[in-house]
Chains A and B, each alone.
Chain A
Amino acid sequence: MAYYIHFKDPNSEEMVRYLSSVPTCPGTCFFMDINRSTDMKYLGGLTDWGRKLNNTFNFLSLLNDFPENIVKGIGDEIMLFIPDDVLKSKPAINSYYLLLEEIYATLYNIRHYPVVDTFLDCKVAIHYCTEVYNITYFEGANDYYGSDVDLTARLMTKGIESRIVLSEKFLMKVHADLAALGLPDNSGCLGRLSGSFLENFKGVPVSTMYRVIDVE
């Protein structure tokens, strides 16, 4: 349950004390965006784009395995945040490597589905967050704030259809999983990992290193 921040006095000392007590909530943040859906809304009616969005959201298996971790949907974009303790408690997808493999497989299945006009291609950004807090300013809502969540959103600007953009920080977690499993660094979809890119994202004071994986 998120920490609820709601103080009427803008200078409340109690608010400062309360905010100081909020712990960080390390975990993996995903932004997933469905491609071309804005254009589609001008070209076809709800029965067309609504159907494809339904099919595509259903296909995103992560949503099925982590339904309680969908933080919000804004139009055709979804934000998921999976805290480390939740990830470790899952019976099936319980490591960063498995998360990455699952999302890769999902994008592959969408891209290669043989019947046209059933699903829409997606792009995904993934970042491992440490500077993140499970807080909300709206009663009863769940949300996550922090500079690492903002950075995940910035990574999305490097996305194109059927591409996963991942931060170096998330990649390090994946490599640690592989080492623990005794698997090489280029296992599974990591065989398609790009070289590293360095970018100065708007509002982020330091350069960010990231990689991409384009679905074959």
Chain B
Amino acid sequence: MELIEKNTEKCIIIGIKGRLDTINYSILEKRLMELLDQNVTKIMVNCSQMDYVSSSGLRILLMALKRITMVKGKFVLCSLQENIREIFEISGFTSIFEIYPNEEDALNAF
């Protein structure tokens, strides 16, 4: 898995490329926690190139959402592939995350 990071005026965008699985979830965890520790409170995760997510990956997204919500920040997701969307639906994550069809729509939410 590779993280591709972009700074915009509205938020930090983290693109996930590849598989967010049980072996590598700690890479995303480490980066998100660094940003949160630096008081970054506006983050978008672009999932357009993420082709697999395990429960461990979902756990990191949930942890980040909880921490950002506590400080009244904003944590959104965009561009979920169909197989990933299905996992999000089954796990109820579509009800708790703000999810946008593309990066442009997600940026407009900030």
A36-65: contact bitstring with B at CB < 8 Å (1 yes, 0 no)?
Answer: 000000000000000000010011010010
B39 at the interface (CB under 8 A from A): no
Q: From residue A32, how far is it (CB to closest CB) to chain B in Å?
A: 13
What 6 A-B pairs come out closest when comparing CB atoms? A105-B55, A105-B56, A105-B59, A61-B55, A106-B55, A101-B22
B100 at the interface (CB under 8 A from A): no
B38 at the interface (CB under 8 A from A): no
A181 CB contacts on chain B under 8 angstroms: 23
A interface residues, Cβ below 8 angstroms from B: 55, 58-59, 61, 64, 92-93, 98, 101-106, 108-109, 112-115, 118-119, 181, 188
| Given known contacts A105-B54, A112-B62, A64 and B92 CB-to-CB distance under 8 angstroms | no
**Interface pair A119/B92, CB less than 8 Å apart:** yes
B interface residues, Cβ below 8 angstroms from A: 19, 21-23, 26, 52, 54-56, 58-59, 62-63, 66, 90-92, 95-96
Q: How far is the CA of A58 from the CA of B88 in the complex (A)?
A: 11
CB < 8 Å neighbour of A113 from B19, B22, B63, B92: B92
Q: How far is the CA of A87 from the CA of B22 in the complex (A)?
A: 15
B92 CB contacts on chain A under 8 angstroms: 55, 59, 113, 115, 118-119
Q: How far is the CA of A64 from the CA of B38 in the complex (A)?
A: 37
Q: Closest chain B residue to A112 by CB distance?
A: B62
CB < 8 Å neighbour of B22 from A98, A108, A115: A98
